[in-house]
């Protein structure tokens, strides 16, 4: 599903990523861990073509990201759901409108929007908040809206950039259960995180990045090496 071939990203003479090779299959649930500045954000930005790789090739499904013309970036991003640490909801739109917006941009029919949005809201468990604005919701609820928005168009990949970073442990686990549920429907999930406890308990594939290099890739890993 996601493939990095000898990818490097240089900022001047600093390598944010150097010679990364990586392959993530369809339906996998992967944790991306590492200290701040290790290259995790660079990884995501490259995948979304927010920045260009200095070297190497990146594939996402059938698309060769590194070869994609700029005007096709929206098409790429519609294939990738994204959830951020700070939720990034549209402040002037209600919960319903926020989720519906992702369908608006692919010009979905009003009828299918009316049908699909309530389903997504109920999947993430915030049907009763549909007409509220983001600032009226708790952090956990906002993240649920963000998740509903990210999966509404059935993306093949969901990227979660520290989705639990602003949440208390209980809420964090609720979000994790939601992500697992989405993963079970066949969506590939790449989650960048610092949450040691979550990574340890989930026992999923863990990819460790440090100083721009992949230092480990364990199929059923933990946050840290246990030597």
> Which chain residues interact with other proteins by CB under 8 A?
48, 70-71, 73-78, 82, 88-92, 101-102, 104-107, 109-110, 149
* CB-CB contact of 83 with 146 (8 Å): yes
Secondary structure, 3-state, 147-182? HHHHHCCCCCEEEEECCCCCCCHHHHHHHHHHHHHH
Query: What's the closest the beta carbon of residue 114 comes to other proteins, in angstroms?
Result: 14
Listed in sequence order, the residues at least 6 apart from 71 whose beta carbon sits closer than 8 Å to its beta carbon are none
Query: What's the closest the beta carbon of residue 173 comes to other proteins, in angstroms?
Result: 26
Nearer to other proteins, 25 or 74 (CB): 74
User: What whole-number distance in Å separates Cα of residue 34 and Cα of residue 224?
Assistant: 9
Nearer to other proteins, 92 or 220 (CB): 92
Nearer to other proteins, 73 or 222 (CB): 73
Phi, psi of 82 (to 5 degrees): -130, 135
Nearer to other proteins, 58 or 102 (CB): 102
Query: What's the closest the beta carbon of residue 145 comes to other proteins, in angstroms?
Result: 12
Nearer to other proteins, 105 or 215 (CB): 105
Query: What's the closest the beta carbon of residue 140 comes to other proteins, in angstroms?
Result: 19
Secondary structure (3-state) at 122: helix
Nearer to other proteins, 147 or 198 (CB): 147
Count the Cβ atoms, other than its own, within 10 Å of residue 42.
Answer: 22
Q: Residue 117: exposed, middle, or buried by beta-carbon count in 10 A (0-12, 13-18, 19+)?
A: buried
Query: What's the closest the beta carbon of residue 77 comes to other proteins, in angstroms?
Result: 4
Query: What's the closest the beta carbon of residue 105 comes to other proteins, in angstroms?
Result: 4
Please state whether 6 falls in left (phi above 0), alpha (psi between -120 and 50) or beta: left
């Amino acid at each position: 599903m996601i493939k990095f071939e000898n990818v490097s990203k240089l900022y001047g003479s600093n390598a944010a990523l150097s010679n990364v090779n990586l392959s993530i299959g369809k339906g996998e649930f992967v944790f991306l861990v590492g200290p701040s500045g290790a290259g995790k954000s660079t990884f995501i930005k490259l995948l979304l073509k927010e920045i260009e790789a200095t070297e190497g090739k990146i594939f996402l499904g059938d698309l060769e990201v590194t070869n994609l013309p700029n005007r096709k970036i929206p098409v790429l991003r519609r294939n990738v759901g994204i959830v951020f640490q700070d939720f990034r909801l549209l402040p002037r739109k209600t919960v319903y409108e926020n989720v519906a917006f992702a369908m608006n941009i692919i010009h979905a029919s009003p009828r299918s929007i009316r049908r699909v949005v309530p389903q997504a809201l109920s999947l993430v468990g915030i049907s009763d908040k549909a007409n509220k604005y983001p600032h009226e919701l708790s952090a956990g609820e906002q993240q649920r809206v963000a998740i509903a928005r990210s999966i509404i168009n059935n993306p093949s990949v969901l990227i979660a950039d520290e989705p639990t970073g602003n949440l208390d442990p209980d809420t964090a686990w609720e979000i994790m259960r939601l992500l697992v549920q989405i993963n079970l429907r066949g969506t590939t999930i790449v989650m960048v995180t610092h949450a040691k406890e979550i990574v340890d308990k989930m026992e999923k594939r863990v990819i460790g990045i440090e100083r721009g290099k992949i230092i480990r890739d364990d199929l059923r890993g933990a946050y840290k090496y246990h030597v």
